[in-house]
Amino acid sequence: MIVAEQKPLPDLQRMLKGKKKVLAVGCGTCVSVCFAGGQKETRGLAKALQTAAAVDGEEMVVEEKTVQRQCVQEFIEPLEDDLSEYDAVLSLGCGVGVQTMAERYPKTRVLPGLDTNFMGQPTEPGIWEERCVGCGNCVLEYTGGLCPITRCPKQLMNGPCGGSENGMCEVDTSIPCIWAKIWDNSDNLNLMDMLMEVQPPKDWSTSRGGGMRRTVVRDDLHQPHAIGKATKSEVEAMETSEEDEVPTPEDPHAGEREDAFLKEMGLA
């Protein structure tokens, strides 16, 4: 899940200064699980902001709504009709949610209410830890199911640095040295031979190195404009042609790949 925290109140007050009517939009998925931007938090924050403004002698109305999934355009569609009433939207979605709002409603001032931290998991009540940086080329096969790209501050791929002590990391002694854990896991799983192989430099082109990534992983599901910047008429057009066959984009290398595959399997 995506883990986020609310921005400090003074930051939010500064952002919203001078606005008369604000809509706080919560999200019922990840950020609600980490108690940052769900319905309850959104209600609470709306109240707090309104009170704080009143204390400062300003008039600001903060209303709130929570959508189930702010990162998917269909889910924020119902907000459209009312948006013109507000001077600003304070999004309590993660960074993706904020941008989904901003892109879908380019005439509305959309502001971020949360600081989005990472992809992670709750490990104990009140503690969330990062687990994946979405490098686009998963190495967990070689590392006993634990991610050194995310969890080793030096992103080492071939074993621990000299700073590992008593199972903890020198960079932050409150977090485990993930390589100590990888070692233990690999030992338990009889994967030590794998640890002894020199892992070559990683191909970071699937990661953040080259800018924004756009992935179409499922050609069979990919319908240009079905999701995203679809206008109402486009959506209508799509609905009316529901029964028509959606042409799958041509894959120029499909034939070659199939041949190679058959060959490898000894079938060609």
Partner 1 sequence: MTAHANALENTEAAPMWKSGSNLEKILAEGHFAVTGELGPPKSMNTKLVHNKIDMIKDFVDAANVTDNQTGIVRLSSIGTGILMEQEGLEAVIQMTCRDRNRLAIQSDLMGASVHGIRNVLCLSGDHQSFGNHRGAKNVHDVDSMQLIRMVQEMRDLNKFQGGEEIKGGGPRLFIGTAASPFSSPIEMRPLRLAKKVAAGADFAQSQMIFDMKLFKEYMKRVVDLGLHEKISFLAGVGPLKSPVMARFLHEQIPGIVVPEDCIERIEDAGKGIDSDDKKALQEAYRAEGIKLCIEQIQEVQEIEGVAGVHIMAIQWEAAIEPIVRGAGLYPRPNLGPTG
Residue 75, φ and ψ in degrees, nearest 5: -75, -20
For every residue of 85-105, DSSP letters joined together read G-SEEEE-S-HHHHHHHHHH-
State in angstroms the smallest separation of the CB of 171 from ligand SF4.
5
Residue 139 in contact with ligand SF4, rule: CB under 6 A: yes
183 binds, among ligand SF4, partner 1, none (CB under 5 to 8 A by kind): partner 1
Give 154 or 222: the residue with its C-beta nearer to ligand SF4.
154
Residue type, 14: R
Least distance between ligand SF4 and beta carbon 37 (Å): 23
d(C-alpha 187, C-alpha 194), whole Å: 10
CB of 149 to ligand SF4, least distance (A): 4
For ligand SF4, the binding residue among 89, 110, 177, 182 (CB under 6 A) is 177
Interaction of residue 132 with partner 1, rule CB under 8 A: no
Query: Which region among 8-16, 23-31, 87-95, 177-185 touches ligand SF4 (by CB under 6 A)?
Result: 177-185
Q: What count of Cα atoms within 13 Å lies in the side-chain half-sphere of residue 182?
A: 28
Q: Which of residues 29-58 bind ligand SF4 (CB under 6 A)?
A: none
* The one among 15, 130, 153, 246 contacting ligand SF4 by CB under 6 A: 153
Structure tokens at 161: 């640095």
Entry field: residues in the chain: 268
Q: What are phi and psi of 113, to 5 degrees?
A: -95, -15
Q: Look at residue 18 and give its three-state secondary structure.
A: coil
Question: Is 208 a residue that touches partner 1 (CB under 8 A)?
Answer: no
**Of the listed pieces 29-37, 80-88, 106-114, 153-161, which binds ligand SF4 according to CB under 6 A?**
153-161
| Longest CA pairwise span in the chain (Å) | 79
176: contact with partner 1 by CB under 8 A: no
Taking the C-alpha atoms of residue 180 and residue 178, their distance in angstroms, rounded to an integer, is: 5
Among the candidate windows 7-15, 133-141, 156-164, 230-238, which touches partner 1 by CB under 8 A? Answer: 156-164
Is 171 a residue that touches partner 1 (CB under 8 A)? yes
Q: How open is the CA angle 241-242-248, to the nearest 5 degrees?
A: 90
Q: How many CA atoms lie within 13 A of 43 on its CB side?
A: 5
Q: Does 133 bind partner 1 (CB under 8 A)?
A: no
Provide the minimum distance between the beta carbon of 118 and ligand SF4 in the complex, in angstroms, as a whole number: 11
Q: Between 43 and 131, whose beta carbon lies closer to ligand SF4?
A: 131
Q: Choose, by CB under 6 A, the member of 133, 235, 238, 246 that binds ligand SF4.
A: 133
**CB pairs under 8 A, 24+ apart, for 56-63?**
56/13, 58/17, 59/20, 60/16, 60/19, 60/20, 60/21, 60/22, 61/20, 61/21, 61/22, 62/22, 62/23, 62/24, 62/90, 63/21, 63/22, 63/23, 63/24
- By a kind-dependent CB cut-off of 5 to 8 A, residue 135 interacts, out of partner 1, ligand SF4, none, with ligand SF4
Residues at the site binding partner 1, with contacts judged by CB under 8 A: 153-167, 170-171, 177, 180, 183-184, 195-196, 198-202, 204
